[in-house]
C-alpha cells in the first residue's frame, strides 16, 4: 500500500498549501506597503517667460530698463508652479533636515512680484530670493494645494531646476501645456500691481508701456 504522502490527495493538499502561502505573502506585502503610505506626488513647472522689452529687434537696442541703477538686458516676467497633488498635507517635519524647496530658474531674479495659492483660502508659503533661485519652506503645504510665484528675471533663456527635499515624495516636472491657463491668470494681476505701485521700476515700466500713447 502506498504511503499517504505519495498519494494524489497529499499532492493536492501540498499544492493548495503552497498556493495559500504565496497568496498570504503577497497580501502581507500589500498591507505593509499601504500601511507605510504611498509616495506624495509633487509637481513643479514654469511658464514661458514674457519679455518686457517686446519692441522690434532693430528698435530694442535703443531702449534701456534699469532696476535700482542696474541695467537689465533681458527682463522677463515668469511664473513658477508648485503643486501638492496628493490628498495628504506635507507638514513642516516632512522637510528633510529642515532644508527648503529650492527653485533655480537659471536667470537672475530681480524681484518676487507676487504669489498666490489655490484654494485662495490658503496662504502661499513665503519665498526668499537667493541669486537665481527662490527658497520656500520648510512650511506646511496642504493636500491638493497649488502654489504660484511670479518673478521678474533678467536672462535670455531661463531654465528650471528644482530641489524638493521632502521625505517620501515623488517630484515630477509639469509640461508647459499643463500650466498655460494658470500663467496668464497669475502674471497679469502681479504685473498690474507692480505697474501701479510707487517705485522707480514701476515708473519706468509705465513710461515704456504708456509713454508713447500719452505723447500722441
Distance CA 86, CA 84 (A): 6
Query: What are the residue boundaries of the structural domains of the chain, listed by start?
Result: 4-36, 40-215
> What does the pLDDT average to over 123-136?
96
Predicted confidence (pLDDT) at residue 165 exceeds the cutoff of 80: yes
Place of cell 528675471: 153
Distance CA 163, CA 161 (A): 7
Residue 69 is placed in which grid cell?
Answer: 541703477
pLDDT given for residue 154 in this prediction: 95
User: Strand 127-130 relative to strand 161-163: parallel, antiparallel, unpaired?
Assistant: unpaired
Distance CA 76, CA 50 (A): 5
- Helix (H) / strand (E) containing 36: helix 8-36
> 64-68, 96-100, 134-138, 212-216: which range is least confident on average?
212-216
Residue 212 is placed in which grid cell?
Answer: 508713447
Residue 55 is placed in which grid cell?
Answer: 519692441
Distance CA 37, CA 178 (A): 27
Predicted confidence (pLDDT) at residue 141 exceeds the cutoff of 50: yes
> 20-34, 150-164, 193-207: which range is least confident on average?
20-34
Query: For the purposes of burial, counting CB atoms within 10 Å of the CB of 131, is it exposed (0-12), middle (13-18) or buried (19 or more)?
Result: exposed
**pLDDT digits over 31-68, tens only?**
544 445 556 789 999 988 998 876 566 555 667 788 88
> 42-51, 88-97, 144-153, 183-192: which range is least confident on average?
183-192
pLDDT given for residue 213 in this prediction: 44
pLDDT given for residue 2 in this prediction: 53
Name the band, by pLDDT with cuts 50, 70 and 90, for residue 132: very high
Residue 105: which of 171, 155, 31, 166 has the closest Cα?
155
Buried b (16+ CB within 10 A) or exposed e, 64-103: ebebeeeebebbbbbbbbbbbebeeebeeebbeeeebbbb
Name the band, by pLDDT with cuts 50, 70 and 90, for residue 182: very low
Distance CA 209, CA 51 (A): 13
Instruction: Please tell me which of 29-33, 40-44, 179-183, 184-188 the model is most confident about, judged by mean pLDDT.
Output: 40-44
Distance CA 114, CA 130 (A): 16
Q: Is the pTM of this model over 0.75?
A: no
User: Which conformational region is residue 168 in: left (phi greater than 0), alpha (psi within -120 to 50 degrees), or beta?
Assistant: left
The overall average pLDDT reported for the chain is 77
Inter-residue contact 96 to 89 (CB < 8 Å): no
Name the band, by pLDDT with cuts 50, 70 and 90, for residue 176: confident
Name the band, by pLDDT with cuts 50, 70 and 90, for residue 216: very low
Amino acid at each position: 500500500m502506498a504511503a499517504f504522502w505519495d498519494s494524489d490527495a497529499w499532492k493536492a493538499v501540498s499544492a493548495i498549501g503552497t498556493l495559500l502561502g504565496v497568496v498570504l505573502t503577497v497580501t502581507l506585502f500589500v498591507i505593509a506597503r499601504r500601511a507605510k503610505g504611498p509616495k506624495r506626488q509633487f509637481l513643479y513647472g514654469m511658464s514661458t517667460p514674457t519679455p518686457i522689452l517686446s519692441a522690434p529687434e532693430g528698435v530694442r537696442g535703443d531702449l534701456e530698463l534699469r532696476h535700482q541703477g542696474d541695467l537689465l538686458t533681458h527682463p522677463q516676467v515668469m511664473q513658477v508652479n508648485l503643486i501638492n497633488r496628493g490628498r495628504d498635507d506635507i507638514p513642516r517635519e516632512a522637510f528633510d533636515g529642515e532644508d527648503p524647496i529650492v527653485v533655480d530658474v537659471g536667470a537672475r531674479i530681480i524681484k518676487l512680484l507676487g504669489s498666490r495659492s489655490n484654494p485662495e483660502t490658503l496662504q502661499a508659503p513665503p519665498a526668499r530670493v537667493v541669486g537665481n533661485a527662490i527658497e520656500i519652506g520648510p512650511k506646511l503645504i496642504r493636500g491638493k494645494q497649488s502654489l504660484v510665484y511670479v518673478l521678474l528675471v533678467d536672462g535670455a533663456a531661463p531654465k528650471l531646476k528644482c530641489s524638493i527635499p521632502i521625505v517620501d515624495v515623488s517630484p515630477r516636472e509639469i509640461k508647459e501645456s499643463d500650466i498655460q491657463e494658470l500663467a496668464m491668470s497669475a502674471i497679469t494681476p502681479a504685473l498690474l500691481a507692480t505697474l501701479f505701485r510707487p517705485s522707480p521700476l514701476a515708473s519706468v515700466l509705465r513710461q515704456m508701456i504708456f509713454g508713447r500713447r500719452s505723447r500722441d
